[in-house]
Each structure stands twice: as structure tokens, then as C-alpha cells.
């Protein structure tokens, strides 16, 4: 959706140990080379059942906490909307989210965020990297860290996928020192990644023959010059083959027509349906973008329209994951780079506000139906349990079983998984 009144900033232009234990009996098959073991339906189903996942909704531009998770009706700053009861007694959210309200027994709200950063780019960096941006260093995004920490090392499908309008299947460079294996694959439109279909003039038999010949040459080469680099190349090639074999995972058109009716026949509905397919197939990290919430003008009309589009597909996805037993293995997060000002400006808009805003979480590893923190009656300040981007980053990862006090080994040195100056929000964790 195009928002001509945005602020016109540049930005708007299963844990590894479990996995190895499960596969101890398969070590011999792995040692023999190839990934055939991981195409066996029984083993694949067991891995997908045990594996943790994270599903993030990035409400890009700055979702208003007052029109979503922390309404302040009948106050000078509250705006025109009512607060409605949810499936959790005593918990109210904005009336613009009636279907989500019915699913709040699965979800929790952190209402006490103060990141003290009102710039779009810097705020987004902090929320998705768990650290402040500095000229001296760059850090991997949450999706790359999650994929590195919890994706099975032999996973055939990419572990870090961003579903966004216009995504064409390309890789980004957002994994920093974790390397390109964990960089995001950008998808949009519910279609498989580009260049994942076999050319029409290449038969399946011809393709199998050339790959068998390649494997033979690889084995001869590796027997004389085996290095980490050559092994990585071999693994990457075989992973690509598995991706080609499973390209239908990314094709949302394979879903029955009734599913499009349930989720909505618009881009965001299709993106949520694609996200469900990816989570069902064991993708470790999926991020769905919904924008643009930069409502400096006409904040209320815009949120009526934008949250009207968000509410039903999101609630349907939460319900589906719960009914299919996937929510107990999947962390859901709804975040933004900051919130909106309690003050309503002369253009009936709300400006950037990072001092008191909210994030929604639910699923694996976190309490159900909890409210963490509190803001004052007008929503201008945090009055209880103030947290920021660092606490949230630790919390997300802890919820999916990552020890955030650990480090990654990068070129022989320890690099902390998350900023060691922070800790998780322990009372939110299950």
C-alpha cells in the first residue's frame, strides 16, 4: 500500500543438540556422503516436529501502540477507538483487532518498551539486530542468528526467509560475519525462488546422470584435497539440489481455494498463507513484512485500513498453527522499529515515539496471555518493567532454546550471540 504522507526517510524509499541426538543412528549414512538420509519421510517428519521456529511480523514504519496493543480510550491522547476484551480475562486491545482478540490466549504483550531512538533506520537496526548500530562494526540480523543457532546443519531448505512485497528470490547480505549461508532469501507473491526449475530441454534422466558424474569427480578431488572450503562447496551444491526438489514448498498456489478465502485474497493474506507453508515445512525463521505504518497524517483512517487487512490473516495463522500443533514449537513476534506519539498532531497523525510502546509475542517458550510492563494513563511514559531492544533480542532467542550467554566461533574467536550487557525478560519465558 502506498502512503504518500510517510516521513520520506531513506528507509521508506529444533536445537542443534536435539537434532544431533535424534540422528545419532544415521551417522553412518552421513559419512557415506550425500543428504539422502534427510529425504526419508519418517526422519523428515520427526525433525520437523521437534525443530523450533520463529515467525516475525515486521510492522514497518512504526505501528501505533495506541491503536493496537496498549489502547488508552477516553483520554486526550487515546484517539477515537475503543478497547475491547480479549480471550484473556482482563486483557484489552484496540477494537481494530477483533479477530486477533479471539486468539490472545496464545499471545502475550510487552507494553513497556523504551528504545530511545526515533530514527527509522537506527530503530529498525536495533530491533532486528539487538544492538545499536555503530560505524565500527556490523552485526547479523535476528533471522541469521536464529538460523545459525537452531537450523539443522543438514537442512535442505534455507533457514532464513523474508516474505515481502516484491521479493524475487534473491539473497541479501544481512548475515554479516555468520556468512552467506544464513543470509535472508527474499520471497514475495507466493511463487518459488527464481532459477529453481530444471530447464525444459534437460530431462530428469540427463540431470541425474550429470549430477552422478559431478559427485564422482567431487569424491576424487576430495580424496586428495579435502578442506573446509571444498566441503562447504559440496554441501552447498547438494543443498541446492534438495531445494530444487522441494520448490513446491514456496508455491502458495498449491493451497486449496478455501484457504485463500480464509486468509484473504490480497497480498498480505497470501503472504501469511505462504508463511504457514514455510513453518509447516520446518523453516527456522520466517519474517513477514507489513507496511507502511508511518502515519504522520491521517493516523486513524490509515490504521482502520491497514489493521483491517492485518487482523484476519494474522489471527487465522495463529489459530492454524495452534490447531496443527505447531504453535508449541513456533515463536510468533509482532514488532516495529518504534511506536507512535501519544500526542496527535495538527494533521490527525502520530509521529515517531520510542519512549513507551509495545511488542506482541506468543507460542513456544513464552507465557500465554501475559502482560509485561505498563505505561501511564496517557501512554507517555513507561511506569513498570522498562525494557528495550537488547532485552527483547535475548528473549526471542531464549524462547526458541538458544543460550544467549553463549558465543559463536567466528574465525577462531568468540563472538557473543547477543549483547552481553542485557538479559532476557525472564518473567515472560515459560
The model's pTM: 0.84
> With the CA atoms of 413, 415, 416 and 417 taken in that order, what torsion angle do they form, in degrees rounded to the nearest 10?
-120
pLDDT of 260 reads: 95
pLDDT of 1 reads: 43
pLDDT over 90 at 166, yes or no: no
Give the confidence band of 225 by pLDDT, cuts at 50, 70, 90. Answer: confident
pLDDT of 155 reads: 78
CA within 13 Å, CB half, 291: 25
- Could you tell me the CA-to-CA distances from 181 to 153, 157, 177, 245, 249 in Å, in that order? 11, 11, 11, 19, 19
pLDDT of 167 reads: 65
Give the confidence band of 15 by pLDDT, cuts at 50, 70, 90. Answer: very low
pLDDT over 50 at 218, yes or no: yes
CA 273 to CA 316: how far, in whole Å?
A: 9
pLDDT over 90 at 240, yes or no: no
- Cβ of 297: how many Cβ atoms within 10 Å? 18
pLDDT over 50 at 72, yes or no: yes
pLDDT of 248 reads: 81
pLDDT over 90 at 52, yes or no: yes
- Domain spans, the chain: 51-191+252-428, 193-250
Return all residues near 130 (Cβ < 8 A) that are at least 6 apart.
139, 142, 145, 389, 390, 392, 393, 394, 418, 419, 422
Dump pLDDT digits (tens) for 90-127: 999 999 999 999 999 999 999 999 999 999 999 999 99
- Is residue 104 within 8 A of residue 93, CB to CB? The reply is yes
At which residue does the C-alpha cell 542443534 appear?
Answer: 16
* Arithmetic mean of pLDDT, 53-61: 98
- Cβ of 202: how many Cβ atoms within 10 Å? 10
Mean pLDDT of the chain: 86
> With the CA atoms of 76, 81, 85 and 87 taken in that order, what torsion angle do they form, in degrees rounded to the nearest 10?
-130
| Coil vs helix vs strand at 290 | strand
pLDDT of 37 reads: 41
- As a CATH number, domain 51-191+252-428 is 3.40.720.10
* Arithmetic mean of pLDDT, 394-405: 97
Q: For a pLDDT cut of 70, what percent of the chain falls above it?
A: 80
Give the confidence band of 407 by pLDDT, cuts at 50, 70, 90. Answer: very high
Rg (Cα) of the chain, in Å, rounded? 22
pLDDT of 46 reads: 53
Strand locations in 131-192, DSSP E?
160-163, 168-171, 185-187
- Is residue 417 within 8 A of residue 148, CB to CB? The reply is no
Checking 85-93 for CB contacts under 8 A at 24+ apart, the result is: 87/369, 88/369, 91/369, 91/371, 93/68, 93/69
CA 360 to CA 334: how far, in whole Å?
A: 5
Length of the chain: 430
- Could you tell me the CA-to-CA distances from 320 to 186, 241, 312 in Å, in that order? 24, 30, 12
- Could you tell me the CA-to-CA distances from 199 to 196, 222, 246, 339, 422 in Å, in that order? 9, 29, 16, 48, 50
pLDDT over 60 at 20, yes or no: no
Dump pLDDT digits (tens) for 367-398: 999 999 999 999 999 999 999 999 999 999 99
pLDDT of 28 reads: 37
* Arithmetic mean of pLDDT, 238-266: 84
CA 134 to CA 122: how far, in whole Å?
A: 10
| Coil vs helix vs strand at 211 | helix
49 or 296, which is more confident?
A: 296
- Is residue 7 within 8 A of residue 296, CB to CB? The reply is yes
CA 129 to CA 127: how far, in whole Å?
A: 6
pLDDT of 253 reads: 87
Amino acid at each position: 500500500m502506498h502512503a504518500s504522507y510517510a516521513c520520506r526517510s531513506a528507509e521508506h524509499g529444533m536445537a542443534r543438540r536435539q537434532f544431533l541426538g535424534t540422528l545419532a543412528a544415521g551417522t553412518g549414512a552421513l559419512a557415506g556422503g550425500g543428504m539422502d538420509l534427510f529425504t526419508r519421510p519418517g526422519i523428515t517428519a520427526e525433525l520437523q516436529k521437534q525443530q523450533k521456529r520463529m515467525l516475525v511480523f515486521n510492522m514497518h514504519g512504526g505501528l501505533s501502540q495506541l491503536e493496537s496493543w496498549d489502547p488508552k480510550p477516553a483520554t486526550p491522547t487515546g484517539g477515537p477507538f475503543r478497547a475491547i476484551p480479549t480471550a484473556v480475562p482482563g486483557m484489552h486491545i484496540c477494537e481494530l483487532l477483533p479477530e486477533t482478540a479471539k486468539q490472545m490466549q496464545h499471545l502475550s504483550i510487552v507494553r513497556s518498551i523504551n528504545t530511545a531512538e526515533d530514527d527509522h533506520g537506527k530503530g529498525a537496526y536495533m530491533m532486528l539486530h539487538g544492538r545499536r548500530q555503530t560505524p565500527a562494526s556490523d552485526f547479523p540480523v535476528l533471522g541469521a542468528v536464529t538460523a545459525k543457532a537452531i537450523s539443522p546443519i543438514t537442512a535442505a531448505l534455507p533457514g532464513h526467509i523474508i516474505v515481502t512485497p516484491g521479493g524475487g528470490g534473491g539473497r541479501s547480505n544481512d548475515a554479516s560475519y555468520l556468512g552467506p549461508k544464513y543470509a535472508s532469501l527474499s520471497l514475495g507473491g507466493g511463487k518459488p525462488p527464481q532459477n529453481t526449475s530444471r530447464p525444459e530441454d534437460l530431462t530428469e534422466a540427463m540431470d541425474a546422470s550429470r549430477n552422478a558424474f559431478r559427485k564422482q569427480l567431487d569424491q576424487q578431488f576430495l580424496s586428495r584435497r579435502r578442506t573446509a572450503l571444498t566441503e562447504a562447496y559440496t554441501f552447498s551444491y547438494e543443498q541446492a539440489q534438495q531445494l530444487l526438489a522441494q520448490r513446491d514448498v514456496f508455491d502458495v498456489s498449491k493451497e486449496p481455494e478455501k484457504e485463500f478465502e480464509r486468509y484473504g485474497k490480497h497480498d498480505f493474506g497470501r503472504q501469511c498463507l505462504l508463511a504457514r507453508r514455510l513453518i509447516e515445512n520446518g523453516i527456522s525463521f520466517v519474517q513477514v513484512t507489513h507496511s507502511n505504518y508511518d502515519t504522520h497524517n491521517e493516523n486513524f483512517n490509515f490504521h482502520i485500513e491497514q489493521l483491517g487487512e492485518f487482523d484476519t490473516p494474522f489471527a487465522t495463522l495463529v489459530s492454524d498453527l495452534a490447531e496443527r500443533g505447531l504453535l508449541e514449537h513456533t515463536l510468533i513476534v509482532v514488532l516495529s522499529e518504534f511506536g507512535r506519539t501519544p500526542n496527535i498532531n495538527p494533521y490527525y497523525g502520530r509521529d515517531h515515539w520510542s519512549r513507551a510502546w509495545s511488542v506482541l509475542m506468543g507460542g513456544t517458550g513464552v507465557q500465554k496471555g501475559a502482560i509485561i510492563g505498563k505505561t501511564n494513563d496517557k501512554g507517555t511514559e513507561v511506569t513498570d518493567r522498562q525494557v528495550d531492544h537488547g532485552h527483547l533480542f535475548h528473549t526471542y532467542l531464549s524462547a526458541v532454546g538458544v543460550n544467549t550467554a553463549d558465543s559463536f566461533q567466528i574465525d577462531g574467536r568468540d563472538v557473543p550471540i547477543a549483547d552481553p550487557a542485557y538479559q532476557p525478560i525472564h518473567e515472560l519465558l515459560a
